Structure 1
């Protein structure tokens, strides 16, 4: 599987010496990035302090980067790893650490209020158990979280919020409307120009394509004609060479036999007739019957059929065709005259 299919956190889990420790590390880092009025250096030092005994075996930088990116899929995966691999006691211990790093300065930010509740739910810690644990650590009960979706929250924290938001929204809407009208006018003019240019390019491209196609067809036809002509020349030349070679072999064999007879004091015999030559082509001796001729023809045809040389050069194919034609002619002659 390609490494590009894994998310950054999945890669960390694959390389980790302890997946549970790596998962816990991400959950604590997620809490730390939502601490208010804390520098990045302080967050990393605090995370290193809390996880000093962990056995994950990798740096904290990538984990902090994932936490800053608010990758909820990675966070949920981390919680599933912890929930699957850890006992209830270990889950409570992790939630204990999360509460500790979220309330180091005594204050609990609104984000971490919801994050701690979310972690408790992911780790299967009931709300009652979570509230009891928070009370034991902080010495006071967990206050209800403020709801930013309610007007009462903004009346306390920013009384001018709604009025400012309405003014900004109206100004933004007016500006967006003007910009949209201007953009639409410019877009219409630009579209018309582009359509005209595109039509010209298409017409020109069409003409060029037609010219190239015609030129390519002519060139291809010319090349094919030249190839056919060259193949015919090569085939004729190969056939001529094969005939000459065969004639030379026959002449040489006859000369050899004549010299042998002279050395033995025999009178030269007349040259072999066509039947003898045809039998020699099939590798037979005089006196062979029709069954012998058929068997010899099948054997020679299997050995020298041009289809056996389809992957060879054109010259070799031409030579094989010439040999097969000579074998076929000898067979036809013998079957008609035997």
Structure 2
């Protein structure tokens, strides 16, 4: 199993020769780290002195580190071990040792006052029993711990408490006023920003509408231009067709022109045109008469356009082969 799954205290327990002694060691260390006016070296020496007969078999450093970290889960685990593995007498012995290391200098710190009550509760020792044991060991009543939340506590331990509290209250009031002023300014800024966004959105909508209308008008003009071009083209084609018929009627008694001349005529070129002229004329005629330009006309118009385009292509192919 990976060691990373164990807490620091569980790792210490795995190395311990006696988990009960290690659990007791942690509870005593927890009390010692809350002794006032005691150096770390003095704490370690006192812990080593009290636990000299223990059989835990490991260093005190890791346990002191866990106690300093205020790891309540480790504290509860230690108390659970003692509650399950020890008799009531052993639990009382642990509480006896805790009271001893907490009151070596005759004073009981406020933190250890609560810690002793907390340990008694974890070890199933009643408050009455705790008070009796404390009196037997120290010769004085344990009494109720002072409440740091009461004014009388600070009047006794810190005469500047109320003046500091007044300064704190004034600072807090000023901070509230500043916060309210800042909140009001931010609200005004948000409202102004909201109005600017609304105006900008309205302006963008108007611009979009104008662009849309302009596009629509441009499309309409383009459609009208396309229609006009188609009508003009149809008229030109009709006129060309009529001229061709007239020319055929007029030339019915004259010898027909040779194929090269006819092909040049289809492309609108005079006899003797160059190969480059043929290519340019074909491109122009192909763009002008391509059937795709008449997709919106009637089927008859599309058929006529296809026939014209095929005639133009045949003339071009012939001329490109003969030139």
Report matched runs for 1:139-178 at 5 Å: 139-168=139-168, 170-171=170-171
1:130-160 Cα deviation digits (max 9, x unpaired): 1111111112221221111111111111132
User: CA 1:176–1:72 in 2, change beyond 3 Å: closer, same or farther?
Assistant: farther
1:8 aligns to what? Answer: 8
Cα RMSD, aligned residues only? 2.6
1:58 aligns to what? Answer: 58
Structure-1 separation of matches of 2:24 and 2:101: 13
Structure-1 separation of matches of 2:57 and 2:68: 21
User: CA 1:16–1:160 in 2, change beyond 3 Å: closer, same or farther?
Assistant: same
* Higher mean C-alpha displacement, 10-19 vs 44-53: 10-19
Secondary structure at 1:141's aligned position in 2?
Answer: coil
Structure-2 separation of matches of 1:9 and 1:34: 19
1:157-190 Cα deviation digits (max 9, x unpaired): 1132133134246547757997996xx99xx9xx
Structure-2 separation of matches of 1:169 and 1:45: 45
1:219-276 Cα deviation digits (max 9, x unpaired): xxxxxxxxxxxxxxxxxxxxxxxxxxxxxxxxxxxxxxxxxxxxxxxxxxxxxxxxxx
- For the pair 1:133 / 2:133, whether they are aligned, the reply is yes
Count matched residues.
187
1:112 aligns to what? Answer: 112
2:234 aligns to what? Answer: none
User: CA 1:159–1:15 in 2, change beyond 3 Å: closer, same or farther?
Assistant: same
Q: Deviation of residue 113 (structure 1)?
A: 0.8
TM-score of the aligned structures, taking structure 1 as reference length:
0.51
Structure-2 separation of matches of 1:59 and 1:71: 18
Structure-1 separation of matches of 2:54 and 2:165: 46
2:79 aligns to what? Answer: 79
2:96 aligns to what? Answer: 96
Structure-1 separation of matches of 2:53 and 2:134: 23
Secondary structure at 1:22's aligned position in 2?
Answer: helix
User: CA 1:163–1:79 in 2, change beyond 3 Å: closer, same or farther?
Assistant: same
Report matched runs for 1:268-283 at 5 Å: none
Gaps of 5+ in 2: 190-323
TM-score of the aligned structures, taking structure 2 as reference length:
0.53
Larger C-alpha radius of gyration, 1 or 2? 2
Gaps of 5+ in 1: 189-338
